[in-house]
Homo-oligomer: A and B are copies of this chain.
Amino acid sequence: MLIVVAGMPGAGSSTVIQHALKLLRESGEGFASASSPASASASAGAVGFKHLNYGDVMFEIALQEGIVKSRDEIRKLPQTTQQEIQRKACDRIAALSKKENIILDTHCTVKTPFGYLPGLPAESLQKLSPRLFVLIEAFPHEIARRRSSDRTRERDVEDEKSIEEHQAMNRAISMAYACLTGAPVKIIENHDGALEKATTEFAELLTRISQNSV
């Protein structure tokens, strides 16, 4: 099973995924045990997901092929080269998802000088067959502030208006993804000071989908 989790830079998708997986590991059999100890116990074994970052897999491939030296160079590559790397990463991820449950940490669209580049074009969706799309969102002003204080890698300065536009385009394309795959789109809000709420919501979603029931 492959689950797509998408958030724009600053939305905190990677953090939400990491915290949720930690929560599931720590709670072990106890998680979600309030309502049904038996099924929770059964599900605890099933809730095993590998966290894979699409950009990391792309960087891995670009590095192996000697195309780039640092991660930020990827989005400065020619459009066709980016798409070629994207395709190879997709094949690798699709192959992995045959063997284990994957949470694919990615972007609905990547903002490039050529505009909003779809992160999961139809061709990729067909290979990946995602079971669920999760959008991690926050208010534009939260994302803008998080980006400005994030020094872990270079980022373009974008004002709130452009973040709002980007997030709206992401929602729009997520519905095209849903239409093509038949998979639902879940929006999880990750507001300042409410990481735990977002984490719990995502962890419960993972438990539910592993149990394949509501």
Contacts and interface: CB of A to CB of B under 8 A. Distances in A.
Interface of A: 76-80, 83, 109, 112-118, 120-123, 125, 131-134, 165, 168-169, 171-187, 205, 208-209, 212-214
Given A115-B186, A171-B172, A181 B79 contact: no
Nearest to A132: B114
Contacts of A120: 179
Nearest to A125: B179
Oligomer copy total: 3
A113 to B, nearest CB: 5
Given A122-B182, A173-B175, A178-B173, A78 B213 contact: yes
B171 A169 contact: yes
A179 B114 contact: no
Nearest to A83: B182
Contact of A212 (B78, B131, B179): B78
A164 B81 CA distance: 36
Contacts of A180: 121-122, 176, 179
7 contacts: A77-B214, A112-B184, A115-B133, A120-B179, A121-B178, A122-B181, A173-B175
A83 B131 CA distance: 12
Contacts of A118: 175, 178-179, 182-184
Contacts of A133: 115
Contact of A114 (B172, B173, B208): B208
Contact of A121 (B80, B182, B212): B182
Best-buried of A125, A174, A181 by chain B (most CB within 10 Å): A174
A130 to B, nearest CB: 12
Nearest 3 CB-CB pairs, A to B? A115-B186, A121-B182, A173-B175
Contacts of A213: 78
